[in-house]
Amino acid sequence: MMRTRAAILRELNAPWSVEEIELDPPKAGEVLVKLSASGMCHSDEHVVTGDLAGATPPMPIIGGHEGAGVVVEVGEGVSSLAVGDHVVFGFIPACGRCESCVTGHSNLCDAGGEAFPLGLQMTDGTARHHDLEGNDLTLMCLLGTFAEHTVVNEASCVKIQPDWPLDKACLLGCGVVTGWGSAVYAADVQPGEYVAVVGVGGIGANAVQGARMAGARAIAAIDPVEFKREKAMEFGATHTYSSIQEALENLGDSTWGRGFDKVIMTMGVGDGDALGQAFWLGAKRSKIVVTNIHPTAEQSIAIPAAMLTLFEKQVVGSLFGSGNIRRDIPRLLELYTQGQLNLDDLVTRTYTLDQINEGYDAMRNGENIRGVIVFD
């Protein structure tokens, strides 16, 4: 057993508490990783606010699910990783054996999905992380990357090249693949299409990049925060609007009045009324991709059902951008090294673990595209 530090959430709407914890060694199929960096994603804010009640582990919980670091110890039977390997965590493990994985949908891994709301180790359903009073600590996304060290399942790790920067690579664990894949995979943006991205934070900025790389003719970025609209132009947007209503009023300018072929919803928190309004952004036979998380308590969305048939519109959900951690994390890092994918400008500011609450305050205030915790 070793001691390390982690940011723990003990009750709803409370600040993260940075504490010393005890960490068990990895068991069979697990690895101990020293974190180098962790992205600060809005999904962890959903845990704070309770938006994902019933779908996330019980408290006390160690937050964080965008992590990258170096393997320092491996458990029995680990075959794909060794001490010294550089890894990025996928926020959804890919067991490679369940029906979802073997049919090409590892983003919906059955084994990971079953363990996800428990927040305990996939192998035996027990905890490796404990506070100093001996209480078990659960893990966000089975990872808990708001910690200097963590123990995770081998299925959550993707080995990367040792020269790829870990403070950028950590973002591939969720936000980058989720946004990019929402455009490239879920929306299936084609060359010459008109695309609207609603919400331009860490995920939406990458949806803009994905649409640009897929060859979109015009990309409208919609966000109430001027700073984010300005950044969206750097990532490839051709038009920006402060609201869905403003975008609707300017369809003649952005799409010659026909509407968007693809509408990608990447707001910080999904909203049924906003989705209903965004539905009208779409042209006939358009596809509306819902990537942002809606509160689990929200049970309805304001969509005119008749238009699904009369205009042949589609509304589809997308988890992790319908991507694959083992294919897409290395693929997008290679695109980054080739200068085709911009990761550098996604990181607005870096923080220490002790500054985590300052970082989330900045996110709530619309000051960051993405904050990153950098460990010593």
pLDDT band at 100 (very low <50, low <70, confident <90, very high): very high
Residue of 36, 100, 174, 322 with catalytic role: 174
Contacts of 27 (CB under 8 A, 6+ apart): 75, 76, 121, 123, 124, 128
Q: Please say if the pLDDT value at position 366 is more than 80.
A: yes
Largest CA distance in the chain: 64
- In this structure, of 35-39, 116-120, 176-180, 207-211, the range with the lowest mean pLDDT score is 116-120
Secondary structure class of 218 (helix, strand, coil):
strand
Contact 133, 20 (CB under 8 A): no
> Residue 293 has what pLDDT?
86
Contact 109, 93 (CB under 8 A): yes
Residue of 36, 38, 43, 286 with catalytic role: 43
Residue of 38, 41, 156, 294 with catalytic role: 41
Q: Please say if the pLDDT value at position 326 is more than 80.
A: yes
Does residue 65 carry a catalytic annotation? Answer: yes
Does residue 106 carry a catalytic annotation? Answer: no
Secondary structure class of 8 (helix, strand, coil):
strand
Q: Please say if the pLDDT value at position 376 is more than 90.
A: no
- Predicted confidence (pLDDT) per residue in 282-301, tens digit: 999 999 999 998 888 888 88
DSSP-derived pairing of the beta strands 239-241 and 149-153: unpaired
CATH class of 179-318: alpha beta
> Residue 289 has what pLDDT?
97
Cα gap 140→43, rounded to integer Å: 9
Contact 110, 98 (CB under 8 A): yes
Cα gap 333→176, rounded to integer Å: 10
DSSP-derived pairing of the beta strands 239-241 and 218-222: parallel
Q: Please say if the pLDDT value at position 303 is more than 90.
A: no
Secondary structure class of 66 (helix, strand, coil):
strand
> Residue 268 has what pLDDT?
86
Cα gap 12→61, rounded to integer Å: 11
Q: Among all chains, which residue has been given the structure tokens 């319908």?
A: 322
> Residue 216 has what pLDDT?
98
Residue of 65, 86, 129, 239 with catalytic role: 65
Q: Name the amino acid, one letter, at 61.
A: I
Q: Please say if the pLDDT value at position 5 is more than 90.
A: yes
**CATH superfamily of domain region 2-173+343-374:** Medium-chain alcohol dehydrogenases, catalytic domain (3.90.180.10)
Q: Is the dihedral of CA 44, 48, 53, 59 positive or negative?
A: positive
Does residue 41 carry a catalytic annotation? Answer: yes
pLDDT band at 54 (very low <50, low <70, confident <90, very high): confident
- Predicted confidence (pLDDT) per residue in 27-44, tens digit: 999 999 999 999 999 989
Number of alpha carbons in the 13 Å side-chain half-sphere of residue 131: 16
Does residue 174 carry a catalytic annotation? Answer: yes
Of all residues in the chain, what percent carry a pLDDT higher than 90? 88
Cα gap 269→312, rounded to integer Å: 27
- Predicted confidence (pLDDT) per residue in 247-290, tens digit: 999 999 899 999 999 999 999 888 888 999 999 999 999 999 99
- Predicted confidence (pLDDT) per residue in 189-216, tens digit: 999 999 999 999 999 999 999 999 999 9
Q: What is the reported pTM? A: 0.95
Domain range list for the chain:
2-173+343-374, 179-318
Secondary structure class of 221 (helix, strand, coil):
strand
Angle 291-295-300 from CA coordinates, rounded to 5°: 85
Residue of 36, 38, 42, 46 with catalytic role: 46
Q: Is the dihedral of CA 94, 45, 32, 132 positive or negative?
A: negative
What is the pLDDT averaged over residues 311-327? 96
What burial class does residue 1 get, using C-beta atoms within 10 Å of its C-beta: 0-12 exposed, 13-18 middle, 19+ buried?
Answer: exposed
Average pLDDT, the chain: 95
Name the residue among 92, 88, 94 with its Cα closest to residue 35: 88
Q: Please say if the pLDDT value at position 55 is more than 80.
A: no
pLDDT band at 1 (very low <50, low <70, confident <90, very high): confident
